[in-house]
Amino acid sequence: MTRALTVEGVTLQFGGIRALDDLSFTVEPGTVHAVIGPNGAGKSSTFNVISGHYRPAAGSIRFGDTDLTEMAPHRIAREGIGRAFQNIALSGHATVVDNLMVARHRLTRAGFLATALGLPGARREERIHRERVREIADFVGLGGQLNASAGTLAYGDRKRLEIARALCTEPEILLLDEPAAGMPAFEKWDVASLVLSVRESLGISVVLVEHDMPVVMAIADHITVLDFGRLIAEGTPEEVQSSEAVIAAYLGETAAHDQAVTTAPSTTPTAC
């Protein structure tokens, strides 16, 4: 069983702006935990604080008994926190398998010298991890495209590759930043079932930032709702759906927002 991830009293400042304001929530082991809220509510900032890319002005983040607050991103990754990026941060020219192998970094050792000399240990390590990477690629449905270069994949496949890469770090907990954004409906549900099977068959907790409400309501065990960097509601999908505060927060932008959700790729992916 995995450990719980606890965000406690986190405040994040950018100049005069409070991106996160005294935010607290706990991701229970083995759950799918969604973080939702209107645009600019601080969802991605929450991820950036957890994964160590931003340092909070106050508060702490703990993973089980380990304090992550002051850790650099690579240390946090080594603690078993995997992350898939919203804007697809892949190496576009590299192959699918190379993009996945880089995620084995924390699990492998071969440095410049061992690799240069082609030491037996380095070769063995490479072989073993390639095998595992192939399994994970199969798991997300990219098994047939291992040697294609990532930049040539279809948008949906690149999103999947992002998820697969995060899985290749063998995380205890997986942060997914809008995995279904910009996808047509049928692909969204593919991703949704992928997320569920990550939890079912790999036993990994998932923290999910997602705009698509039907998907969130269908797969989340627990939901945290943010607005202006503050927590305004949390609970099961049913509890959140009936919360006055949530309805009020969303009403303001429902019209515009629904438009964005239904007319597909509102967020153009950055080229990679």
Partner 1 sequence: MKIVQLLFLGLSLGSIYALIALGFVVIYKGTKVINLAHGSLMLLGAYVVAVVSEHSNFGLGVAAGLVTAGLGAIVAERVVSLARTHDHLVPTILTIGLDVLLAAELSRRIGTEVFSMGDPWGDARVTLLGTVLPQARIAATIVGIAVIAAFFVVFRMTDFGTRMRASAEDAETAALMGISQRRVAMVSWAMGGAMACIAGIFLAAFPNAGLDHHSGIIALNAIPAIIIGGLDSSEGAVLGGLIVGITQSLVQGYADALHFLGGNAAPVAPYVVMLAVLMVRPSGIFGSKELARV
Partner 2 sequence: MSDRVARLLPWLLVLPLLAMPLYVDGSWLIIGILGMAGAIGAIGLTVLTGTAGQLSLAHAFFLAVGAYGYAFLAAGSEPGGEASGLGLPSTVAALAAVLLAGLAGLAFSPVAARVKGLYLGVASLALVFIGEHVLRNAAPLTGGFNGRRVPTLSIGGFELTGRNPELVVLGIPFLERERLWYLSVLVLVVSIVVATRIVRGRPGRALRLMRDSAAAAGSMGVEVRRYQASAFVCSSMFAGVAGVLTALAFQYIVPQYFTLLLSVTFLAMVVIGGLGSVGGAVAGGVFVTALPLVLEKFSTSLTFLADPGTGGLDATMLAHLIFGASIVLVLVVEPGGLAALGGRLRTLVRRS
Identify the residue among 9, 14, 55, 74 touching partner 2 (CB under 8 A).
74
Identify the residue among 62, 105, 199, 257 touching partner 2 (CB under 8 A).
105
Q: How far is CA 204 from CA 197, 212, 220, 254, in A?
A: 9, 22, 14, 32
Identify the residue among 9, 118, 184, 265 touching partner 2 (CB under 8 A).
118
Task: Please give the size of the binding site for partner 2, defined by CB under 8 A.
Answer: 41
x/- track of binding to partner 2 for residues 155-184 (CB under 8 A): ----------xx--x---------------
Query: Helix crossing, 185-202 with 155-168: angle to 10°?
Result: 10
x/- track of binding to partner 2 for residues 204-243 (CB under 8 A): ----------------------------------------
Decide whether 107 or 213 has the Cβ nearer to partner 2.
107
52 binds partner 2 (CB under 8 A): yes
x/- track of binding to partner 1 for residues 53-92 (CB under 8 A): x-------------------------------x-------
Identify the residue among 48, 69, 145, 205 touching partner 1 (CB under 8 A).
48
12 binds partner 1 (CB under 8 A): no
* Residues engaged in binding partner 2 (CB under 8 A): 51-53, 72-74, 76-78, 82-83, 85, 89-94, 98-99, 101-108, 110-112, 115-118, 122, 126, 165-166, 169, 272
* Residues engaged in binding partner 1 (CB under 8 A): 44, 47-48, 53, 85, 271
